[in-house]
Structure 1
Amino acid sequence: MTEQPIHETHSEVAKRLRRAEGHLKKIIAMIGDGRPCLDIAQQLQAVESALCNAKKALIHDHIDHCLEQAVGPVSREGRSVVEEFKEITKYL
């Protein structure tokens, strides 16, 4: 496996993941403390959303940098296709 370069958003993605990790630990404590299921479910939704946003940022960064690196500079028309591709990835 070849090593991928670190992109500018990687540190932001890592920061989001660390924040989600801390939040997840709090949710585990909530379960242990017998907190209401509704409270726990709401917090789980927040963590799930944070993970999805981190994944989206990582994928978009990969598309912007690695794809362009592989195919070369993209024209304005090509850029709109790339932007549309990024938009459709939210449905994955």
Structure 2
Amino acid sequence: MDQHETTYGYTENKDALLKRLKRIEGQVRGVARMVEEDKYCIDILTQMSAINAALHKVSLGLVNDHIGHCVVNAAQAANESGDMTQLEEKIDEATAAIGRLLR
């Protein structure tokens, strides 16, 4: 890896994350097919619920990765430098992301 390349909390699990997202993408295509085929509303809603649950699980994993990597690294840098600015920014980012997930 290039020393200037940025790593993120999900970097170690990137393959698994992409696999899960591709599975969700397949579920969405399946729901579109159900609509095209005039399937029963409740069956479509059941699949939508499964997609939402899968997306929430991915989202929570990303929040966990962000806090465990980006926020922790910012805290370590703040501890070393005494400058809390970057840490405060990372905490604000995480809080905003969680807020968007809760809407």
- Length-normalised TM-score, structure 1: 0.71
Give the CA deviation at 1:63: 0.4
Please report the RMSD computed on the Cα atoms of aligned residues, expressed in angstroms: 2.5
Percent identity (aligned): 32
**Which one scores higher on RCO, CA 8 angstroms, separation ≥ 6?**
1
Give the CA deviation at 1:10: 2.8
Cα distance in 2 for residues equivalent to 1:59 and 1:4 = 17
Larger radius of gyration: 2
Deviations 1:20-56, CA, capped at 9 Å, x for gaps:
0001001100000011001000001000111111111
1:53 alignment counterpart: 57
Matches for 1:22-33 after TM superposition, within 5 Å: 22-33=26-37
Deviations 1:50-72, CA, capped at 9 Å, x for gaps:
11111110110010011111112
Equivalenced residues, count:
77
- Length-normalised TM-score, structure 2: 0.64
Question: Given the alignment, which residue of 16, 19, 22 partners 2:23?
Answer: 19
